[in-house]
Structures are given as C-alpha cells and as structure tokens.
Chains A and B, each alone.
Chain A
Amino acid sequence: MKPAAFDYVRCETLDEACEVIAQTGDDARILAGGQSLVAMMNMRLATPAVLVDVMPAPDARKVAAENGTLKIFAAVRQASLLDDPDLTWRNPLLARMLPWVGHPQTRARGTICGSVAHADPSAEIPLALAALDGKVILRRGRKRRSVKATDFFLGMMLTDKADDEMIEAVTFADVQQGTGTGFAEFGRRKGDFAIVACAALVSPMRVRFAVGGVNDTPFVRDWDNLSPQDDAEALNALAWSLDARGDLHATARYRRDLVRHLGAQALKEARSCAV
C-alpha cells in the first residue's frame, strides 16, 4: 500500500504554512507527525494533492506558559511535551494522559495539534483539551480565531476547522493548586486507541468529569458538590445519558459499564490527591 502522488512543501515558518493552506484549501493538508495522516495515505483513504510540512518551522516548535495556560504550537511532538519536567506540576492531568497516546515510537513523531486536528473520538489529547478548558487557535492567512474545545469537536473526525485554516496552537488551562486529577482507560492492548477513557478533576466546589470513546466527541459534565457516596449513582445516570453504541470493539452495554468502572477509578484517584 503506497500513497498517491502529491507535491511536498517544506515550510520554514508558520506564516508560510498558513499561506499555502489558505491558497490551496481542501487539496492541501498539513503534515505534522504523520502518525495518522501517512497511514491514511498509505491506505488511500486520504489523497491530498499537496502536503504542507510544518515540522521544519522553528516558530512552530514553541511551548509557552501564559495567562494560566500552556500554549502548544503546531510542531510540538507528544514525546517532547512529555519530557518537559515542568509538565507534571503545571498540568498533572495532561502528564498523566500523554503516556496513553499510542506507543513510544508513535509519540516520538506525533504532535499535540495533529491529534486535535484528527479528532478521533477515542483519542486522549482531544479529551484532555475538553476537560481542561482548552482552546484551539485557528489561522487563515493572517487572521486568527480562537474556538473552545467543546465547540471545536463536531463529530467523528469532524471539527470546526475550515479546509483553508490551520491549527496554529492549542491551549490547556493549568490545573489549579489543590485540584485533584485522575484518569483511567481501557483498550484491548497497551497503546491501542481507548475503548473508553475517563478523566476527572476534583476541586472544593466542583467535580468535572470527561469521557472519551463513547460519544462522537469528548463529553464533559460538571457536578457541584458531588460527595463520594453519590459517585456511583451519578456515574450510572451519566452512563445512560451517553450515546453508547455497539460496534466491532464493544457492545453499548459494555461501554456503559466501562464508564461506571473507569469513572469510579478516575474519581477516586482525583479525590485522593485533592486538598
């Protein structure tokens, strides 16, 4: 299986990448880590006429801590963010979830923004973005707009990004001191996409819970003052409210059951480190 022919454009700056995407529109695709795109091209599920390689652009490799968020630009690889020693205290939830994204061999190439653009319903990074009040910064030429993660994901591999836009960066809100975080996932094999993944953030006033792998987009629910003895009931109601469907990997009932079990694990972990 080999990809169809395409022109390859090597960009030295983000400006250049934006320019080519804005001019070429739906015939062009950004090439980031290639860990989803090249596989799809090899299977001829994607046949772009132009590939715009953003990875050689030094200004796309930035990670910036600003205004209580972590801003991650288009060419930041998953492994390099995971290696950042500051990540564990700044954003323990992201640090907890990144090792679940594929394998060391795919994280060494795959990017944060690429996973957001790809928008797989089971992917951990979009789930983290939704749970952490994330924003997606989109660029068309020199015009920028910022979209909340919960508005960005529209469906299975479907987002609010237009064909002539690119993701310049994404931002994750820092986890506040005293907020506990937890995560649990089940997949068939280590490194496979999740069948269900659950993330939790517990602060004195609020419990936030996020589920991936069940609905077509990451699902986020906030509870005020949920006490631990009510967790099971809340999770059961939430499991029924989701749009669980059966497929090759799992039945709808099994998915709901995973939400109850993994949800309890994630909440327990988050409560244990909340103050």
Chain B
Amino acid sequence: MRRLTATERHPVRFTLNGKPAEGTAHPRMLLSDFLRGVQGATGTHVGCEHGVCGACTVRIDGAMARSCLTFAVQIEGAEIDTVEALAPAPARLSVLQDAFRKHHALQCGFCTPGILMSLDTLLATESQADAERIRDVLSGHLCRCTGYQPIVAAALDAAQTLREETDNA
C-alpha cells in the first residue's frame, strides 16, 4: 500500500508514445492536465471534463479511455498513447489521418484528437470493423461540425486501405 499525500507532488513514471517519460503531480491532477501542462503534449484536447464529449480520449495500456476521468498518479507504470503518436514521421500522416483529410472528416478539429485515438485503436484491434461498429465507437464522441457522416466514411476508407496493406505485405 502506498499513500500519496494531497499537498505534495509525487513522481509519475510511465511510457508516453513508446518512450519513457516522467513528471510530478498532485494526486488531484487529471491525466488530461498532466499530459498538456506537465508533459507539453497539447495534442490531447479538453472539453467537458466529465466524460461526455470524448475530446480527451487517449490510449491507456492499449484501451481507449477518457484522460479527464483518470488521475495522473494512476498511470504509474502504464503505457499512454496520444494523438502525437499517430503520424509515422514529421510531415507524414497515418493512413487514418490521411483518410480524415481526404474525406473532410474535420472542420474546427477540436474533437479530432479524441476521435482519432478511438478509431486508431478500433482499426488496430478489429481490422474488419464495419460502419455499425464504427458508429458504436463514435457514440463516445461529440463533434459539432461534421455531422459524423464524413468521419464514418474516412474510417471505412482507412480500414480498407489497412486491410490491403496487410494483404500485400
């Protein structure tokens, strides 16, 4: 058992986008604020801070999760992936990101980092995901600009491209 006191900052060691990372946090610091404020990884957006909008979605140990409903001290030893991890190289987009551009799946882009993290996780684990499954995952996100249709189209297109890539590999 370890007790981390409210008034002090405590070290948090974890893996961020495949690289070892560390920082300090009071117990009450949310993972979303820790990523943005302490780690400087501002790709993750913060909207509602009560789990509803999905803008803050990241990957914790391989699963999509709300960073606004997790405390930084809880991720000691965990693997965190954020939207910064998606692009394979500077100035190159991932298959999913490229499909978002092609299909105009974003306008203001506020919701996009969270949606990308959910869909990237889905396509990595379920290569056969169909429109219904994609909509099921999208239900955990709010987008006020696109009307969702282009997002579904982009995800289906990306799924197809990824399947072709593995078939031809």
Contacts and interface: CB of A to CB of B under 8 A. Distances in A.
A9 B2 contact: yes
A79 B50 CA distance: 20
Nearest to A79: B63
Interface string B1-35: 11111110000000000000000001110100100
Nearest to A20: B1
A153 B2 CA distance: 32
Contacts of B33: 2
A61 interface: no
Contacts of A53: 74
Interface stretch (A36-44, A122-130, A165-173, A239-247): A36-44
A11 B1 contact: yes
Contact count band on A:
35 or more
A109 B65 contact: yes
Contacts of B30: 2-3, 38, 42
A2 B28 contact: yes
Given A5-B26, A7-B27, A51-B27, A104 B136 contact: yes
Interface of A: prevailing SS: loop
A8 B65 contact: no
A191 B4 contact: no
A8 B8 CA distance: 11
A108 B3 contact: no
B51 to A, nearest CB: 5
A53 B118 CA distance: 25
Given A5-B26, A106-B66, A10 B139 contact: no
B27 A5 contact: yes
19 contacts: A3-B28, A3-B30, A6-B27, A6-B28, A7-B3, A8-B4, A9-B4, A16-B1, A38-B68, A38-B70, A39-B69, A42-B30, A43-B50, A55-B74, A103-B137, A103-B140, A106-B66, A189-B139, A191-B140
Interface of B: 1-7, 26-28, 30, 33, 49-51, 54, 57, 60, 63-66, 68-71, 73-74, 76, 118, 122, 135-137, 139-140
